[in-house]
Amino acid sequence: MIIDKLYESVSEKGVVCVGLDTSIEYIPENIIKKYMKISDSIFEFNRRIIDATYDISACFKIQIAYYEALGIDGLIAYKKTIQYIKSKGCLVIADIKKGDISKTAEMYAKAHLEGDFESDFITLSPYMGMDSIKPYLNYVREKEKGLFILIRTSNEGAHDIQYIKDYNNNPVYKTVGEKIKNLGSEYLGRYGYSSIGGVVGCTHSDEAKNIRESLNNLFFLIPGYGAQGGTAEDVARYLKHGNGGIVNSSRGILLAYKKHNMENEFDIYAREEVLSMREAINNAVKAYEG
């Protein structure tokens, strides 16, 4: 199953997921000047980041909004980036956060789990109900694909809905997590994790122990590290023996070169940031688990 490949990638390379949320203003001026098309500039930036980090990163996550915002040129860069990641033998998460029902969801599944934009995992929002997840399940079952479904996110606005108490006096995110856990139990891999995982932000670490224990079969995609305020110590609480999750960082990696004012070596500093992040999390896991 696809989740076994991700688990093994974490075991081999560490928990860092490189987020290719590539805004045009992140790209050094010399690359912009070199290429006529925006799509070529973005892809060249991404390619060098990938080349510098693929051997030390569990996977790559691409947030599609950064590419959609640039129209056709952006989507060309998105497609080429996905294909290049795969050519390096790495896993791709398409961060699309779709959430719709019936034929619309079927079309989203077709768009992002096959064809030009085919990825290994996609992110989904469950807040229209569990029937919004159903159209993707055949891809999990038959096509070796995976899902990361929003449970409790890293933004401040998470409290607006996800913490509302339901009829059992549980916060909504806990109920959603249990439903995803139950659904995922049908798709368990050899390491005990499901190909249906959850998105759990690391910025609310006070709930981490309970979330990790109660959702024991879910592999987590963990945003919120670095620029959003999450620390290695926060992350450690969501992992099990250094696995069971991947930790995404986007701006912290892509813009690491700006701290050194060395834009021609942006890829070198991206690699250094991944190595530093990986070491910090490994040390935090050792300290947390004793």
- Active-site residue numbers? 97
Are the C-beta atoms of 77 and 34 separated by less than 8 Å?
A: no
Note the residue count of the chain: 290
- Strand-pairing partners, residue 121, are 93, 146
Number of Cβ within 10 Å of residue 170's Cβ equals 14
* Residues with Cβ within 8 Å of residue 135, at least 6 apart in sequence: 101, 102, 105, 106, 108, 109
Are the C-beta atoms of 152 and 204 separated by less than 8 Å?
A: yes
- Residue 28 burial class via C-beta count within 10 angstroms: exposed 0-12, middle 13-18, buried 19 and up: middle
* Residues with Cβ within 8 Å of residue 82, at least 6 apart in sequence: 62, 92, 94, 117, 118, 119
